[in-house]
C-alpha cells in the first residue's frame, strides 16, 4: 500500500506523539480538559468528513453523537453488557441512524438539507425527552459502578482514573485520525472533494454521487457516534443535553475555526474553542454569546479556518 501525502502522514504521527507526551507536562485539570478535547475532536473530525470534504453542511449531527451516547449508555445501563460491547453498540446505533437519515436527507440540497437535518435532530432530541422514563430525559442517567471499569485482552482499565481516560481517548483519537487519513487522502477522499467542488461534473464522469454522499454521511455519523459512545461511557453519564441543537453547532464551529476540509483542523478548532469556552464559563454564564459572535466572525472574515488559511497560503499538502 502506498501512502499518499507523506508530509501530512508524518505530521499526524508527530501530533499523536506530541499528545502522548503532553500528559506528563500538564496539570491534572488540563489533562482532564484535553481528554474532553480529544473526544470532541473525534466528533468534529467526523463532522468534517461531511462538511469539510464533501461540502454538505449538516445542522443535525447532535443526533448521531446522541445515538452513540444512548446506544452505548442504555445498553450498559439496562443490559449490563461490558463496556467494549456497549461501545460497539453505540457505534452501530449511530451508523444505522446516519444511514437511515442519510437516505432521506440526501434527496435535498443546500438550505433544505440543513433544515431537514436540523428537524430530524430536533425530533430525536424531543423523542429522548418524550420517553424520559426510559432515557432519563434531561435529568439523565448515571451508569452504575460496575460500568466504570473493564478488561480487554487481559488489560484492566479503570474509568475513574485520569491517566487511563486520557490514554484511552488518545488511542481512539489516534485510530480515527489514521483511519480518516486513509479515507480522505486516498481515491475515496478525492471523490468526496469532487462532489464538493462540482457535483454535476462528478456525475457526468460516471460516478454515483448519491452513493458517495451516502458513504460520507454514514462515515461522518458513525464517527460522531464513536465520540458520543466514548464520552458517555468514559464519564459514566448520559443525558438529553448530549443531543441538543447546541451540540450540532459546536461541531460546526469547531470545524469552521480549525479549517473545514483539513484533516487536523477539527483538532485545532476543538482545542482552541473548548479551552476558550471553559475559561469563559468561569466568567459569565452567557458564553453562548461568544459562540454566536464567533460563528458570524468566522463566516464573514475567516471562512477557511486556521489550517485552511495555512494551506491556501503556504502548505498546500495540509488537507
Looking at beta carbons only, is 112 or 139 nearer to other proteins? 112
- What SS3 class is residue 149? strand
Contact at 8 Å (CB) between 212 and 195?
yes
Write out the residues near other proteins by the rule CB under 8 A.
57, 59, 104-105, 107-108, 110-112, 114-116, 119-120, 122-123, 126-127, 129-130, 249, 252, 256, 286, 288-289, 291-296, 299-300, 303
Looking at beta carbons only, is 113 or 242 nearer to other proteins? 113
Q: For residue 15, what is its C-alpha cell?
A: 501530533
**Nearest approach, Cβ of 247 to other proteins (angstroms)?**
13
d(CA 219, CA 47) in angstroms, rounded, equals 9
Contact at 8 Å (CB) between 69 and 228?
yes
**Nearest approach, Cβ of 249 to other proteins (angstroms)?**
6
Strands 237-238 and 149-152 turn out to be unpaired
Looking at beta carbons only, is 137 or 179 nearer to other proteins? 137
Looking at beta carbons only, is 82 or 132 nearer to other proteins? 132
**Nearest approach, Cβ of 69 to other proteins (angstroms)?**
19
Looking at beta carbons only, is 108 or 198 nearer to other proteins? 108
d(CA 248, CA 218) in angstroms, rounded, equals 16
d(CA 167, CA 154) in angstroms, rounded, equals 17
Q: Which residues contact 32 (CB under 8 A, 6 or more apart)?
A: 162, 165, 166
Looking at beta carbons only, is 218 or 240 nearer to other proteins? 240
**Nearest approach, Cβ of 254 to other proteins (angstroms)?**
13
Q: Read off φ and ψ for residue 309, nearest 5 degrees.
A: -65, -45
Q: For residue 169, what is its C-alpha cell?
A: 481517548
Closest C-alpha to 255, from 218, 286, 294, 214:
294
Q: For residue 308, what is its C-alpha cell?
A: 485552511
Contact at 8 Å (CB) between 245 and 63?
no
Looking at beta carbons only, is 159 or 306 nearer to other proteins? 306
Closest C-alpha to 158, from 233, 226, 228, 227:
233
**Nearest approach, Cβ of 240 to other proteins (angstroms)?**
11
Query: In DSSP terms, which residues pair with 238 in a beta bridge?
Result: 141
Looking at beta carbons only, is 176 or 257 nearer to other proteins? 257
Amino acid at each position: 500500500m502506498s501512502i499518499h501525502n507523506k508530509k501530512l502522514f508524518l505530521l499526524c504521527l508527530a501530533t499523536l506523539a506530541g499528545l502522548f507526551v503532553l500528559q506528563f507536562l500538564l496539570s491534572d485539570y488540563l489533562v482532564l480538559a484535553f481528554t474532553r478535547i480529544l473526544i470532541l475532536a473525534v466528533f468534529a473530525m467526523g463532522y468534517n468528513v461531511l462538511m469539510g470534504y464533501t461540502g454538505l453542511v449538516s445542522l443535525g449531527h447532535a443526533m448521531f453523537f446522541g445515538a452513540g451516547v444512548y446506544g452505548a449508555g442504555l445498553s450498559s445501563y439496562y443490559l449490563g453488557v461490558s463496556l467494549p460491547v456497549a461501545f460497539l453498540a453505540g457505534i452501530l446505533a449511530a451508523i444505522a441512524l446516519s444511514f437511515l437519515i442519510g437516505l432521506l436527507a440526501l434527496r435535498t440540497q443546500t438550505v433544505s438539507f440543513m433544515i431537514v437535518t436540523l428537524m430530524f435532530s430536533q425530533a430525536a432530541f424531543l423523542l429522548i425527552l418524550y420517553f424520559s422514563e426510559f432515557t432519563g430525559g434531561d435529568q439523565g442517567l448515571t451508569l452504575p459502578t460496575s460500568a466504570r471499569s473493564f478488561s480487554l485482552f487481559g488489560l484492566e482499565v479503570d474509568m475513574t482514573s485520569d491517566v487511563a481516560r486520557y490514554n484511552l481517548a488518545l488511542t481512539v483519537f489516534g485510530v480515527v485520525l489514521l483511519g480518516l487519513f486513509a479515507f480522505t487522502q486516498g481515491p475515496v477522499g478525492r471523490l468526496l472533494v469532487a462532489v464538493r467542488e462540482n457535483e454535476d461534473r462528478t456525475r457526468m464522469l460516471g460516478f454515483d454521487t448519491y452513493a458517495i454522499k451516502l458513504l460520507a454521511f454514514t462515515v461522518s455519523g458513525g464517527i460522531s457516534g464513536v465520540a458520543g459512545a466514548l464520552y458517555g461511557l468514559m464519564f459514566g453519564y448520559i443525558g438529553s443535553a448530549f443531543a441538543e441543537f447546541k451540540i450540532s453547532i459546536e461541531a460546526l464551529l469547531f470545524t469552521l475555526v480549525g479549517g473545514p476540509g483539513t484533516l487536523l483542523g477539527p483538532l485545532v478548532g476543538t482545542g482552541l474553542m473548548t479551552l476558550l469556552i471553559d475559561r469563559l464559563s468561569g466568567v459569565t454564564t452567557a458564553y453562548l454569546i461568544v459562540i454566536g459572535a464567533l460563528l458570524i466572525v468566522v463566516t464573514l472574515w475567516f471562512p477557511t479556518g486556521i489550517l485552511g488559511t495555512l494551506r491556501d497560503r503556504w502548505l498546500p499538502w495540509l488537507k
